[in-house]
């Protein structure tokens, strides 16, 4: 079964840059789109990156996504961290049957 | 603008059934797949499956067969999730999430996803 692995938690200071990784268990992560969702406590997930590196309107350009085929991983980078960025972040891609697969989620603390 | 509005919280007893609705607006309902996602208390996101809004054909993830049913009413742009024989472990927030573009009976990956606000289903005696 295809799985996506994320770090359980990351923390960084306001104004800094943080990168959250999402590693695929098999195959090539580059062969399917990767999405990133932000979920604040008590709220529904919202899309911050879709199709690997596309940013929906309304999402600040401080958020960016990328794919690294050499490590079979996707990354979400948030620059100029703000306290409002503190949330859980989930990556999502697809397995060989085109079923959605989620990473376990990463808790971002901005301290 | 695209909106998915879900029905309100439910409190059910074990063994009962529940039907969660997800009303779409701001786009052509039958042009995009609809996914369902579960989030148990304090846990991550778990994909339950999806329904092809072109054909009405559902696909269920492992662990979500038998008691879970996806359905549509295209006349009111609404998707439904029905869960029967409820158990305490079904207590969770259930989300609908718009998926990829559908055309000619096939649905494709990609595109921006939109999520409903979630429906809390609590199963307790």
With contacts defined as CB-CB under 8 Å, which chain B residues touch A100? 35, 37, 47, 50, 99
* A49-63 pLDDT per residue, tens: 999 999 999 999 999
pLDDT per residue rounded down to tens, chain B (125 residues): 999 999 999 999 999 999 999 999 999 999 999 999 999 999 999 999 999 999 999 999 999 999 999 999 999 999 999 999 999 999 999 999 999 998 888 888 888 899 999 999 999 99
Predicted confidence (pLDDT) per residue in A23-82, tens digit: 999 888 888 999 999 999 999 999 999 999 999 999 999 999 999 999 999 999 999 999
Nearest chain A alpha carbon to B110? A51
Distance from CA of A90 to the nearest CA of B (A): 8
For residue B9, what pLDDT is reported? 98
Of B64, B124, B40, B117, nearest to B88 (Cα)? B124
- The answer to whether A101 contacts chain B (CB < 8 Å) is yes
Is A1 a residue whose pLDDT tops 90?
A: no
Q: Which two tokens stand for residue B78?
A: 């609404």
Task: Give the Cα separation of B2 and B5 in Å (integer).
Answer: 10
């Amino acid at each position: 079964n295809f799985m996506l692995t994320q770090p359980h938690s990351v923390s960084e200071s306001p104004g800094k840059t943080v990168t959250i990784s999402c590693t695929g268990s098999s195959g090539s992560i580059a062969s399917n789109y990767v999405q990133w969702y932000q979920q604040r406590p008590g709220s529904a997930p919202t899309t911050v990156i879709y199709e690997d590196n596309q940013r929906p309107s309304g999402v600040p350009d401080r958020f960016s996504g990328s794919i690294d085929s050499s490590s079979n991983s996707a990354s979400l980078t948030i620059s100029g961290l703000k306290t409002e960025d503190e949330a859980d972040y989930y990556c999502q891609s697809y397995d060989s049957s085109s079923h959605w697969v989620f990473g376990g989620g990463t808790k971002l603390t901005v301290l | 603008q695209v909106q998915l509005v879900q029905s309100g919280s439910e409190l059910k007893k074990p063994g009962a059934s529940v039907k969660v609705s997800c009303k779409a607006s701001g786009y052509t309902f039958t042009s995009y797949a609809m996914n369902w996602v579960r989030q148990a208390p304090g846990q991550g996101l778990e994909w339950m499956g999806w329904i092809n809004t072109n054909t009405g054909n559902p696909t269920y993830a492992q662990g979500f067969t038998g008691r879970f049913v996806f359905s549509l009413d295209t006349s009111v742009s609404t998707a439904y999730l029905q869960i029967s024989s409820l158990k305490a472990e079904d207590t969770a927030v259930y989300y609908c999430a718009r998926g990829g573009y559908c055309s000619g009976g096939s649905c494709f990956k990609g595109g921006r996803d939109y999520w409903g606000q979630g429906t809390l289903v609590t199963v307790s005696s």
